[in-house]
A and B are shown apart, each in its own frame.
Chain A
Amino acid sequence: MEMINLTIDNKPIVVKKGTTILDAASSIGIDIPTLCHMKLHDMNIENKPGGCRVCVVEVKGRRNLAPACCTEATEGMEINSHSLRAVNARRTVVELILSDHPADCLVCAKSGNCDLQDLAQHLGIREIHYQGSQSHYREDTSPAIIREMDKCILCRRCEMMCNEVQTVGVLSTINRGFHSVVSPAFEMNLDHSTCTYCGQCVAVCPTGALTEVDHTGAVIRALSDPTKTVVVQTAPAVRAALGEEFGMEPGTLVTGKMAAALRRLGFDYVFDTDFAADLTIMEEGTELLGRLNKYLAGDKQVKLPILTSCCPAWVKFFEHQFPELKDIPSTARSPQQMFGAIAKTYFADKMNIKRDDLVVVSIMPCVAKKYESGRDEFAVNGNPDVDYALTTRELAHLINLGNIDFKSLPNEEFDNPLGESTGAGVIFGTTGGVIEAAVRTAYEVQTGKALKRLDFEELRGMEGLRKATIDFDGTLIHIGIAHGLGNARKLLEEIKAGHSEFHAIEIMSCPGGCIGGGGQPYHHGDVEILKKRQRAIYAEDKNKVLRKSHENPYILKLYEEFLGEPLSEKAHHLLHTQYFDRS
């Protein structure tokens, strides 16, 4: 490996050839400000259009300033990252951006989390010396995402996410010059496009141009309505990230404080989506074994591999892009929807609450869950199984509105019966977790033997595509895992071409799985945060007394009292779904 010597701010440094000035500087603790650039290290995700020029530095002997994010360091370079010229240029760039930006900070959904705001602060901008006309574009509201293009700074991070990482291809820069905006084809609204609502564009947008639809107001109204019983469910990935919103170290588990906060906010019952994740395993696992055993018995008609179906963005993706494969995914609804269906039948009956008087709120790491809860098939006479899906960020907002000092809350438990879960339900929050949970149950049901180990390290990790073979007592089960829709696409192409080697595949739309969901606290490009959340999820699993879904006593009771057995007619009706050709 060829090495290169250079100095940055008079500090000598040796880096690998090919390193950018930006990375070289950050390796010795010099943080050159950036705006359009974003790199998710180890995930092969990088946006470097070199467009904004905020990162310019002075290179001795070079006439013009060099953008650090996309200029390679070369032998003998002498770089000054904060010369007067560089700092002035940086300030000019930011002032020009601000001159065509609505001064909405005080009321902007992104305030406090906005890279542009931070940058203006960092550079000490107190006045904008340029005045020009401001570009205006209509606002676009979809079931999950709001596009407010007046706040777009054309960094193109969203385009990179949507096109390269997710391969959905909804967003592109259109028009020219002053009239440029990022938009779906033919300037149609997002809800007419093939957008999956994965929210990864929202997760990386540096400004308030892309945000989730806010349902906190509606939830507050429901909470203050004395005629309503309001129950809440919290997805597994939320407990591993919510603390960040209150200044806690990434990867801090806040399960108990979260339950306490929800109770203080006035929810009548604080339940757990992890319970429904266990239920998902009962249904999906049974479906998997059903198909597998038919196949092993020589039935070549049976559809394999079976694909997981808990991620609504993934579901919408294949409905648009691979409709011919729509009978391959499991028909099991996602945990969010299973919870809603059970809450509004089993639980409502038990408590003698009328369907219309029961409000189900879910707290999700996800933007697509907002869309999912609004799908027609998940409502009865217009009353949805899940009334409102809030993101982790929206919950933090509610907690602040409730004047709750989150950090000093005691740890509290979830309520029963829909709050009890096993470690298998918890790991749904990370890539690899759903399939590991399925393996734990499927293995024991299939072989009739107890597992000797519960930690399937071979299914874990952060690589975008992984595979593993699990020995089911002599029968080898081949498993594939993909996170990020671009990776999923590769596995789907194989299936379409008829040479997939897998029996079962887990797919999650977001890089990292739900821990990296579009509704989580913003990671600002720091992949370490995702890894810490992942470790927290596995730690929570380890701490659980029960770690296999089929051992959850409340799940067993639910089948006994209400559903009968997995894949029963009632289970089909309430817990399974169908997919549509949206091409």
Chain B
Amino acid sequence: MPKIKLAEKTVELIREICAQFNNQETELINVLHQVQHKLGYLPAEVQEVIAKELNASVAKVYGVVTFYSFFTMLPQGQHPISICMGTACYVRGAEKVLTEFKRQLGIEVGQTSADGKFSLSCLRCVGACGLAPVVLVGEKVYGRVSPQQVSKIIAEYQDGCASAQSA
């Protein structure tokens, strides 16, 4: 088992969040949500602290983290890109859009680009089916995205050098 090597401050933060939920194992999902909200992701060491605080097994915590697609164990990029894979988006070409993002950023789903700027994930239906296919960058929503628009979207976040990153 990897030894816990988190900063004392981080451990304190996690403990506080667990305490807010009375260290109840039944609140595991809420705790994970809060912790991810604060830390951005849920690495193994963090899950170990949560398990200890809630008196749950690490395997169980990991089970929940891997069950829900919105939990992530990897640090997110500065601009997390999420592609909706709900039915409506899927039939209108979300897969092709995803492939294009992967190609241009050179990363797979769940990974972060080497410069730490972008990370890529898939979502289940976000409820904006009228705009399918939908892409989110941070909080911003892009509708009716085509593979051709991908480079433009990426460029928006490239701090001034808009022409970079075209594979």
A-to-B contact residues, CB < 8 Å: 163, 168-176, 183-186, 192-194
A168 neighbours in B (Cβ, 8 Å): 57
B141 within 8 A of A: no
B61 within 8 A of A: yes
B58 within 8 A of A: yes
State whether B59 touches A183 (Cβ < 8 A).
yes
Question: Chain B's nearest CB lies how many Å from the CB of A69?
Answer: 23
State whether A185 touches B62 (Cβ < 8 A).
yes
Contact among B44, B62, B69 with A174 in the assembled complex (CB-CB below 8 Å): B62
Total residues of chain B contacting the partner, CB 8 A: 15
> Which of B47, B59, B62 has the most chain A CB atoms closer than 10 A to its own CB?
B59
B-to-A contact residues, CB < 8 Å: 1, 44, 47, 56-63, 66-69
Assembly CA distance A305 to B52 (angstroms):
27
Known: A192-B1, A193-B1, A194-B1. A186 touches B60 (CB 8 A): no
Assembly CA distance A184 to B62 (angstroms):
9
A170 neighbours in B (Cβ, 8 Å): 57, 59
Contact among A163, A175, A193 with B67 in the assembled complex (CB-CB below 8 Å): A175
A192 neighbours in B (Cβ, 8 Å): 1
A171 neighbours in B (Cβ, 8 Å): 59
Assembly CA distance A99 to B62 (angstroms):
28
B47 neighbours in A (Cβ, 8 Å): 185
State whether B62 touches A186 (Cβ < 8 A).
yes
Task: Report how many A-B pairs have Cβ atoms within 8 Å.
Answer: 45
State whether B66 touches A174 (Cβ < 8 A).
yes
Known: A163-B57, A169-B57, A193-B1. A176 touches B62 (CB 8 A): no
B57 neighbours in A (Cβ, 8 Å): 163, 168-170, 172, 185
State whether A163 touches B60 (Cβ < 8 A).
yes
B69 neighbours in A (Cβ, 8 Å): 176
State whether B1 touches A175 (Cβ < 8 A).
no
Please name 28 pairs of A and B residues whose Cβ atoms are closer than 8 Å in the assembled complex, sorted by A: A168-B57, A169-B57, A169-B58, A169-B60, A170-B57, A171-B59, A172-B57, A172-B59, A172-B60, A172-B62, A172-B63, A173-B63, A174-B59, A174-B62, A174-B67, A175-B66, A176-B66, A176-B67, A184-B59, A185-B44, A185-B47, A185-B58, A185-B59, A186-B58, A186-B62, A192-B1, A193-B1, A193-B59
> Which of B44, B60, B63, B67 has the most chain A CB atoms closer than 10 A to its own CB?
B63
State whether A185 touches B61 (Cβ < 8 A).
yes
B56 neighbours in A (Cβ, 8 Å): 169
**Nearest opposing residue in chain A for B47, CB measure:** A185
> Which of A169, A184, A194 has the most chain B CB atoms closer than 10 A to its own CB?
A169
Question: Chain B's nearest CB lies how many Å from the CB of A524?
Answer: 26
A193 neighbours in B (Cβ, 8 Å): 1, 59
Assembly CA distance A172 to B63 (angstroms):
6
A176 neighbours in B (Cβ, 8 Å): 66-69
> Which of A163, A169, A185, A186 has the most chain B CB atoms closer than 10 A to its own CB?
A185
> Which of B58, B66, B69 has the most chain A CB atoms closer than 10 A to its own CB?
B66
Closest 10 CB pairs of A and B: A169-B57, A172-B59, A172-B63, A185-B58, A185-B62, A185-B59, A174-B66, A174-B63, A172-B60, A175-B66
A184 neighbours in B (Cβ, 8 Å): 59
A194 neighbours in B (Cβ, 8 Å): 1
Assembly CA distance A193 to B62 (angstroms):
13
A185 neighbours in B (Cβ, 8 Å): 44, 47, 57-59, 61-62
Question: Chain A's nearest CB lies how many Å from the CB of B37?
Answer: 21
B62 neighbours in A (Cβ, 8 Å): 172, 174, 185-186
Assembly CA distance A9 to B151 (angstroms):
67
Question: Chain A's nearest CB lies how many Å from the CB of B109?
Answer: 13
Assembly CA distance A186 to B73 (angstroms):
10
Assembly CA distance A174 to B57 (angstroms):
13
**Nearest opposing residue in chain B for A582, CB measure:** B1
Question: Chain A's nearest CB lies how many Å from the CB of B6?
Answer: 15
**Nearest opposing residue in chain A for B67, CB measure:** A176
Assembly CA distance A185 to B64 (angstroms):
11
Assembly CA distance A163 to B58 (angstroms):
11
B68 neighbours in A (Cβ, 8 Å): 176
Question: Chain A's nearest CB lies how many Å from the CB of B44?
Answer: 5
Assembly CA distance A193 to B58 (angstroms):
10
Question: Chain B's nearest CB lies how many Å from the CB of A551?
Answer: 46
**Nearest opposing residue in chain B for A171, CB measure:** B59
